[in-house]
Structure 1
Amino acid sequence: MDSAPADVPIAIGGQLDPATVLGGYRHGAFPMPAATAADVEVNHALYEESVESGRTVVLDSPLPDPYALVWWSPDPRPVIPYGGLTKARSLMKLLRNRLRWTTTTNQDFARVLAECRRDRLPEWLTTELCACMIELNRQGWAHSVEVWEDDELVGGAIGIGTGEVFVLDTCFHRRSNASKVALLDMEHRLAGAGVTLLDVEWDSERSRRLGAGPLPRHEFLAALARGSDPVRLADGVEPVRRLGYLRTPG
């Protein structure tokens, strides 16, 4: 399965349950379920050739059509060394001098997840996947950071950690910069947890702006293999002002 090229999924099929999803993350693969029948047909059109050639593995699956669930493991993998999340000077100044937001962890995981899902296309955060994520949060694998303006939730982020790797899975904002604050807070709360890499999953202009660079998949999988324990976030209510004094190494 490690030999699939970057532009095709590593596998199709399987099932969406907490154990399988966690197993995927622990082995460098993440699920992209199809939300509609039309999405399933698109997957057929895009990936049937890869399946027929053996580049994409077909997993045993209870699904009527295995193309309803696609697993990705990009090569190279876009990652940020821990501590290297971009800290723009303008945002740092704003955090120190103007913003009066606070942050919490795991106080409203389901709501943050729902906000991340809202109005997002393609709709990969399906009801089934959200149920898995909520259970993984209950088990201590998945975490949320909430950004508050008084009592209003204005931003947040979801992540999953295992060993040395913490996945910055999804985020949202209802105020300018609130998702950036959520990600910075999430990184800051990982201090001392043994994390060496922040995984952003997909290469994009936005991920590069966050500080992500390419890492060969075999090196990413080696980092995952060095640890398997759940990663904890520091808890508590914190002012975002404290984040304004962080600096990107180098």
Structure 2
Amino acid sequence: MNTAPGEEPVAIGGRLDSATLLGAYRHGAFPMPAGSAAEIEANHFLYEDAVAAGTTVVLDSPLPDPYALTWWSPDPRPVIPYGRLAKSRTLMQKLRNRLPWTTTANESFGQVLAECRRDRTPVWLTEELCECMAELHKLGWAHSVEVWEGDELVGGAIGVGIGRVFAMETCFHRRTDASKVALLDLEHRLAGTGVTLLDVEWDSKASQRLGAGPVPRNEFLATLAHSSDPVLVAGGVEEARRLGFLPRPEVAP
């Protein structure tokens, strides 16, 4: 796990089900299940001191080893203000040059999730977490955006929307820039929902290139606490090339 020096989970253990996962999102936390015995052992090595110091809470857990599940709420939190997702010149040019892709939303959630999981290491998208995400999708909290080349799924993104915050969980591409197109499409489909922050959860060079910057955790949590309603993502089939001509989406007052 690529974490900054001194960064540690807010909790370990607990259970991984859809109700617990939704409750965690509502309070600004997200899970990182360990995908192997080696990762569990690494969690012991990395976080036992934080547990001993009381900065990381140990939750009651049905798991054989609570270190198999960690919960995170970084401070500061890397976020992208809604409407400020980065648009590179080359991507905009590519979109305008009659790119033959179409996009949809919530049409193939399971397929996008499976593609996001495929060939990833470490394996944080465990079967249990995927089952929870699928349940949140059925309940209207988790959403997918799909990018199609004909009938072939070439890119996509998964996220969870709560009130003014949309957490961009994971994405994938099978064609260059298809994941970026999925994220841009998602941003435009969130128009009028009241979302003001796109949460990228982890700070990284990739998230910074997307336009993410740090905000203090207390400010992030204050925005999250403003509303706990699910976010409705606009559906329909759209041409991806339209994204090269649309103005930046505006934040609703």
Could you state the TM-score of these two structures normalised by the residue count of structure 1?
A: 0.96
Aligned to 1:47: 47
Read off the aligned partner of 2:220 and give its amino acid letter.
Answer: F
Q: Is the contact between residue 159 and residue 168 of structure 1 (CA under 8 Å) also seen in structure 2? A: yes
| Offset, 1:246 | 3.6
| Offset, 1:60 | 1.1
Aligned to 1:235: 235
The separation in 1 between residues aligned to 2:199 and 2:84, in whole angstroms, is 12
Gaps of 5+ in 1: none
Q: What are the equivalent positions in structure 2 for 1:147-158 lying under 5 Å apart?
A: 147-158=147-158
Q: Is the contact between residue 102 and residue 149 of structure 2 (CA under 8 Å) also seen in structure 1? A: yes
| Offset, 1:98 | 3.1
Read off the aligned partner of 1:34 and give its amino acid letter.
Answer: A
Read off the aligned partner of 1:80 and give its amino acid letter.
Answer: I
Aligned to 1:115: 115
| Offset, 1:247 | 4.7
Read off the aligned partner of 2:30 and give its amino acid letter.
Answer: F
Could you state the TM-score of these two structures normalised by the residue count of structure 2?
A: 0.95
Read off the aligned partner of 1:192 and give its amino acid letter.
Answer: G
The separation in 2 between residues aligned to 1:82 and 1:218, in whole angstroms, is 19
Read off the aligned partner of 1:100 and give its amino acid letter.
Answer: P
| Offset, 1:97 | 1.4
2:182 equivalent to 1:182: yes
Once superposed, what is the RMSD of the aligned Cα atoms? 1.4
Matched-pair identity in %: 72
The separation in 2 between residues aligned to 1:247 and 1:24, in whole angstroms, is 34
2:130 equivalent to 1:127: no
Read off the aligned partner of 2:88 and give its amino acid letter.
Answer: A
Structure 1 stretches of 4+ moved >2 Å: 246-250
Q: Is the contact between residue 87 and residue 248 of structure 1 (CA under 8 Å) also seen in structure 2? A: no
The separation in 1 between residues aligned to 2:120 and 2:247, in whole angstroms, is 31
Give per-residue Cα distances to partners, 1:143-189, cap 9 Å, x unaligned: 00000000000000000000000011100000000000000001110
2:72 equivalent to 1:72: yes
Tell me the secondary structure at the aligned position of residue 147 of structure 2.
strand
| Offset, 1:70 | 0.1
Aligned to 1:105: 105
C-alpha spacing 1:6/1:184, structure 2 compared with 1 (3 Å): farther
Give aligned pairs, total. 246
Tell me the secondary structure at the aligned position of residue 136 of structure 2.
helix
Q: Is the contact between residue 35 and residue 123 of structure 2 (CA under 8 Å) also seen in structure 1? A: yes
Read off the aligned partner of 2:160 and give its amino acid letter.
Answer: I
Gaps of 5+ in 2: none
